[in-house]
Amino acid sequence: MPANIATLNGKAAVALAREPAWHGLGTVVDHLMKAEEAFRLAQLDWQVEKRPLFAKYPDNTYGQVEAFGIFRTTDHALLGTCGKMYRPIQNASGFELIDALLELADGGAYYESAGALGIGESVWALARIPNDFTVAGDDPHRTFLLFHTRHDGNGSALCKLVDCRVVCANTLAVAIGETGAELRIAHFGKVDEKIEAAKKLMAASGDAVKALHEKFDILAHRVVTKETFLATMDRLFPEAEENVKAGVIGKARADKIAKIADLFASNDGNATPAIKGTAYNLLNAITEHTDHFVGTDKTRARSAMFGTGEWLKAKALNVILAATANAPEHKVLYSKPAAETAVLDRPAPPTGMADYFSQN
């Protein structure tokens, strides 16, 4: 099945709020779901059980081996194998953990998606963090709380703050690969106590969302000058040592920076006028370049999901914060005529770096 979504009881085991996924599978509802609804619609209302495994020997006798099977109790499907010390973490525990972290004592509806992959060996639940925010009063930023566990004996259960809306195997990999507050719960020892500890630790995750909001808001109030733009590029994309010694600018680096400058000037077609010319606009340009213009479609997607692309975007946030620490204040927030002259009417960069700031 596309996207590796599990098929249970003849249906795709995924539930989605408001927006269908690219794969067109699962049950879509027009509202954020409560835990009970997401649990049921995603067909996760089953448990797993660890059972001993036996081998048949040449003399037709049977004996227990030093391994155990992880079985779904509803249909006795074998989801994976594990060792003696392994402790299952049930699907319901993930929803209970999210509800506890979001303090949903009133049964609030916050679930964006939930589902199972493969034959059910991988399960996730994704809830919207209630305190969504906008930058510059106009650019929405959503944050989710992800729970993921496996029933095949591999990996730990995970509770993590993410930006990616999980709808399939690929987007789950993206979310797991993001930088952000997280806690892993090993399938060993006193699992229940570990889950209780996770509730206490991840309860502080709201502070991480708040900190991110504050950083974005700071960037939205800073104007990018030619100097801060070039300082950011030098930190993120340093010139090759041989080019520095020769006093020349590498074409690949020049092309990359020129493209980022074009994206910065465009401001995504000026979709959010209030941030044009700001450090937040520059962060968005670097993110867009990383996700859409680096390498081939295949390598670009993999980099953005799992590797250097995600690392670069995280680094860019802190580099821009540092580079623009003494930048002019952007005072034209929340109005249509954003800082049109912040960068675009400044003199062209030095020879060999022309057109970094394209004119309208």
Task: Match 């719960």 to its residue by tokens.
Answer: 185
Strand-strand pairing, 144-150 and 157-162: antiparallel
Query: Among 7-16, 209-218, 306-315, which stretch is predicted with the lowest mean pLDDT?
Result: 306-315
Q: Are residues 138 and 180 in the same domain?
A: yes
Query: In this predicted structure, what is the pLDDT of residue 358?
Result: 38
Task: Match 């299952």 to its residue by tokens.
Answer: 88
For the cut 70, the answer to whether the pLDDT of residue 128 exceeds it is yes
Q: Are residues 225 and 200 in the same domain?
A: no
Query: In this predicted structure, what is the pLDDT of residue 290?
Result: 77
pLDDT band at 156 (very low <50, low <70, confident <90, very high): confident
CA gap 213, 141 in Å, rounded: 9
3-state secondary structure of 303: helix
Query: In this predicted structure, what is the pLDDT of residue 203?
Result: 59
Query: Among 98-107, 116-125, 137-146, 329-338, which stretch is predicted with the lowest mean pLDDT?
Result: 329-338
- Asked if residue 338 belongs to a domain, the reply is no
Q: How many domains does the chain have?
A: 2
Query: Using an 8 Å Cβ cutoff, are 17 and 31 in contact?
Result: yes
For the cut 60, the answer to whether the pLDDT of residue 102 exceeds it is yes
Alpha helices, DSSP H, located in the chain: 35-41, 91-101, 169-177, 191-202, 205-220, 226-236, 241-246, 251-270, 279-292, 297-306, 308-323
Domain ranges, residue 53? 2-205
Element (DSSP H or E) covering residue 82: strand 78-82
- Asked if residue 353 belongs to a domain, the reply is no
- Asked if residue 253 belongs to a domain, the reply is yes
Query: In this predicted structure, what is the pLDDT of residue 168?
Result: 92
CA gap 292, 259 in Å, rounded: 11
φ/ψ (deg, to 5) at 58? -55, -25
Q: Are residues 92 and 184 in the same domain?
A: yes
Q: Are residues 289 and 147 in the same domain?
A: no
Written as one letter, the residue type at 97 is: L
Looking at 181, 205, 229, the residue that finishes a domain is: 205
For the cut 50, the answer to whether the pLDDT of residue 212 exceeds it is yes
Q: Are residues 190 and 235 in the same domain?
A: no
Written as one letter, the residue type at 227 is: E
Q: Are residues 169 and 199 in the same domain?
A: yes
Looking at 146, 181, 205, the residue that finishes a domain is: 205
Query: In this predicted structure, what is the pLDDT of residue 151?
Result: 95
Q: Are residues 30 and 101 in the same domain?
A: yes
Among residues 136, 132, 138, which one has the least CA distance to residue 210? 132
Cross-strand bridge partners of residue 12: 7
The rounded Cα 241 to chain-centroid distance in angstroms is: 34
Query: In this predicted structure, what is the pLDDT of residue 305?
Result: 33
Name the token pair of 297: 């479609």
Query: In this predicted structure, what is the pLDDT of residue 221?
Result: 86
